[in-house]
Amino acid sequence: MIFWWFLLLTSAVSWALTGFLRRYALAKNLIDIPNERSSHSVPTPRGGGVAIVVSFLAVLPILNKFDLLFTPVFLALWGAGFAVAITGFLDDHGHIAARRRLLVHFGAAVWGLYWLGGFPPLTAFGYLLDLGWLGYVCAAVYIVWLLNLYNFMDGIDGLAGIEAITVCCSGALAVWLVAPDSTAWMLPAFLATAVLGFLFWNLPPARVFMGDAGSGFLGIMLALLSVQAAWIEPRLLWVWLILLGVFIVDATVTLSRRVLRGEKFYEAHRSHAYQYASRILGAHRPVTLAVCAINVFWLMPVAILVALAKLDGIVGLMVAYFPLLLLAYRYKAGDRQAQTRQAK
């Protein structure tokens, strides 16, 4: 009963703090002004995602005190999350060069991996694969990529929040099914409730945006939670990759096309599939709800089959991603010329 009250309190704190941050952003003129690269048309205050950061990080020492969270995991999440959030907060208030942000991101990834014990072995077609030092490199790149793609995908009202909540709830269920005696499922559950309080203000039409502090924080938290889950059971890494499929596929296809054209991938743009879809439909809400439906009715069932060892992880990943790739191409992910023609 106390656990459920703490979940409710986390969400309430996040909700109240988001309202305060909205007023703060208005007072400090921290406003996103619409431009040709934006997907919104109304000036909107930003930085509300700090409420997610504060409410979630505040829970971690409490869980640690009551032996519901191992100290190394606490240090991994708190240290990496704080570093990324602070960098995003400063960037929201001014500008930090991309190379400096990237340096902090890799530092946070290395910190998180160190305290989590590195990258766990992978399961593939019944075999256990230990990648050794290469696994550490791949894991660091994966964490930094997920951190940044979450920032890229935070471009329309409610999308990043809905993604985090559905992924965390499904991830918590998968961990509980595989290891019911573990308390690891509590972490994604608390992260979901922290996001829920913010989402109240961010649903279409958004009254406040998440900002880099919130989106970067969510990206690295989800990445580290996936690595932690894989230490409990290796196939759970595939589960989290499946659950994050919408964001991973859209961002990766878009980035790949931009890099092949020689564009600076880190510059602002609006050539993601979700942005194209929102312009076609003329609203953010249908796209956000569609992503929610895909996560709940497609990706979660496939992920649960993998978690229960009814489906191999790689096979499940391919099955889950195939229709997402079709959607990415259908909605012109990274196809600048097609999106420019549609905008005209």
First to last CA, the chain: 55
Task: Convert the pLDDT of each residue in 155-169 to its tens digit.
Answer: 899 999 999 999 999
- 333, 271 Cβ separation under 8 angstroms: yes
Higher pLDDT, 97 or 113: 113
Tally the C-alpha atoms within 13 A of residue 95's C-alpha that lie toward its C-beta: 3
Is 36 inside a domain boundary?
no
β-bridge mates for residue 38, sequence order: none
**Mean local confidence (pLDDT), 211-234:** 97
Domain that holds residue 229: 2-31+42-343
Is 37 inside a domain boundary?
no
Where helices occur in 133-210 by DSSP H, the ranges are 133-153, 159-178, 186-202
Question: Given this model, what pLDDT does residue 263 score?
Answer: 78
**Mean local confidence (pLDDT), 297-310:** 97
Higher pLDDT, 230 or 92: 230
**Mean local confidence (pLDDT), 231-241:** 96
Under the banding of pLDDT at 50, 70 and 90, the label for residue 338 is low
Question: Given this model, what pLDDT does residue 2 score?
Answer: 80
**Mean local confidence (pLDDT), 277-295:** 96
Task: Convert the pLDDT of each residue in 113-159 to its tens digit.
Answer: 999 999 999 888 888 888 888 889 999 999 999 999 999 999 899 99
Question: Given this model, what pLDDT does residue 92 score?
Answer: 87
Q: Is the pLDDT of residue 340 over 70?
A: no
Q: Is the pLDDT of residue 264 over 60?
A: yes
Is 238 inside a domain boundary?
yes
Please state, for a pLDDT cut of 90, what percent of the chain lies above it. 80
Higher pLDDT, 168 or 260: 168
For residue 220, give every residue at least 6 positions away whose Cβ sits within 8 Å of its Cβ, in sequence order, or none.
Answer: 80, 81, 84, 105, 108, 109, 112, 143, 146, 147
Question: Given this model, what pLDDT does residue 341 score?
Answer: 57
**Mean local confidence (pLDDT), 238-257:** 96
Under the banding of pLDDT at 50, 70 and 90, the label for residue 37 is low
Rounded Cα gap, residues 119 and 131, in angstroms:
8
The count of domains in the chain is: 1
Alpha-carbon dihedral of residues 247, 111, 191, 237, nearest 10 degrees?
50
**Mean local confidence (pLDDT), 78-102:** 93
Please, what is the average pLDDT of the chain?
Answer: 93
Is 163 inside a domain boundary?
yes
Higher pLDDT, 335 or 252: 252
Under the banding of pLDDT at 50, 70 and 90, the label for residue 38 is low
Closest CA to 242 of 151, 315, 133: 315
Task: Convert the pLDDT of each residue in 6-34 to its tens digit.
Answer: 999 999 999 999 999 999 999 999 898 87
Closest CA to 164 of 113, 240, 110, 59: 240
Q: Is the pLDDT of residue 50 over 90?
A: yes
Rounded Cα gap, residues 295 and 46, in angstroms:
26
Higher pLDDT, 133 or 58: 58
Under the banding of pLDDT at 50, 70 and 90, the label for residue 40 is confident
Question: Given this model, what pLDDT does residue 337 score?
Answer: 64
